[in-house]
Amino acid sequence: MRLSVVILAAGQGRRMNSDLPKVLQPLAGRPLLAHVVESARVAGAADIHIVYGHGGQRVRDALHDGQLRWALQAEQLGTGHAVAQAMPGVQDDALVLVLYGDVPLVRPETLRRLIEAAGEQTLAVLSVRMKNPTGYGRVVRDRAGRVVRIVEQKDANAKERAIDEVNTGLLAAPARRLREWLGKLDNDNAQGEYYLTDVVVQAVKAGLTVEAVIAESENEVLGVNDKLQLAEVESVNRRRRAEELLRQGVTLADPARFDARGPVEAGRDVFIDVNVVFEGSVKLGDRVRIGPNVTLRDCEIGADTEVFANCVLDGAVVGAKCRIGPFARFRPGAVLRDEVHVGNFVEVKKSELKRGAKANHLSYIGDATVGERVNVGAGTIACNYDGVNKWHTEIGDGAFIGSGTMLVAPVTVGAGATIGAGSTITKDAPPDALTLERSKQVTIEGWKRPEKKK
């Protein structure tokens, strides 16, 4: 059966106290809504319909996804009314899975269990048992344990409020029957809204089976209504990602002080120290070691490479057996081949350092190609910007760049060349020769330092 997913994302989120729509609040660096869309796709969605309202075009623009289908809920009249806005775009022979844009941690495997429990004659709802169910709709069962209705907190009596099994709002139902039930909803309740949960009673009256699939934990179905709940969800997600890596064999110095905000691929015997943040897609080879306080964003790190403390690598590709940092910064386009050493307070941007090259101290390498076994001395700068355009620096294999050198691009340093310390190189330096540029040193006899006036 075709799976059509409807995601409710029209809420304003007043308790967020933010100008950003609730479903665009960031979780692990991405909007809450993006996490729900990803889970829907992993669960096998053939089409995804998002019901939006508050935030309007801003919500649509944030996802940049032409495959999503959008339905506007101009007035927020309840969850049942919201789902009804998307139903014109859903085929009658589909199975509809209803998700929420502010419930981002439901696992795809849980969604699959929910989907498998539903069918032509079965409505499936996702429930969870809570130690403190206050505020949630209760799942009411008959003496045989069959679900007969869901009652909201404000409409529940004392006996119903004592029930610890609560409705999460997520459900799966045959589209044709769901369309029929939505058309019969009324708003005769304490909120004056059209509740999606009221379709349960209609399903029972129609003789269908209502199956409650119980989620494994409360954490999986946490909703986000304010910044406190957002922080709780962030913490759960952070722990979940850490556990995934631990099961793969990665060593985390402290799982509570590690944050993966995107996909991570790690080889064997990888070690990650405390306060490390991964963003975007990160790939780590065998035996990579990441020191404390490091940020990696969209990076690939080769086997046996060590990144020391306090480095920031963004969009970099690093080969095997490299040594990086501490306090190094790589900007997009940085490529290090095998056995390269880049030391403390060195910045690399849109440059390639070939095998065995070294830049160990206090240097800037931008828009450059650095050959094999090149030694870049402390304080060297590839002067790549003339105020309008960026220019390239080429350093041949085996060259030695003395400390404090300014390489004013465009310029080429030949293979095996030596550049004397303190030089400003504005013309090409020939291979296998010493090139230096220095102004005359002058000592002024009898000069005295100025003194402050009393």
- Name which of 187, 126, 127, 199 is nearest 155 in CA terms: 187
Task: Provide the CA 26 distance to its chain's centre, in angstroms.
Answer: 9
By annotation, the residues acting in catalysis are 361
Angle at 193 between CA 189 and CA 198, to 5 degrees: 70
Query: What is d(CA 381, CA 403) in angstroms, rounded to the nearest whole number?
Result: 10
Query: What is d(CA 382, CA 124) in angstroms, rounded to the nearest whole number?
Result: 64
Q: Tell me the torsion sign for CA atoms 104, 110, 112, 118.
A: negative
Tokens matching residue 312:
């920031």
Query: What is d(CA 206, CA 219) in angstroms, rounded to the nearest whole number?
Result: 33
**How many residues are there in the chain?**
454
DSSP single-letter state for residue 81: H
The CA dihedral of 313, 315, 317, 318, to the nearest 10 degrees, is 0
The CA dihedral of 347, 353, 357, 362, to the nearest 10 degrees, is -10
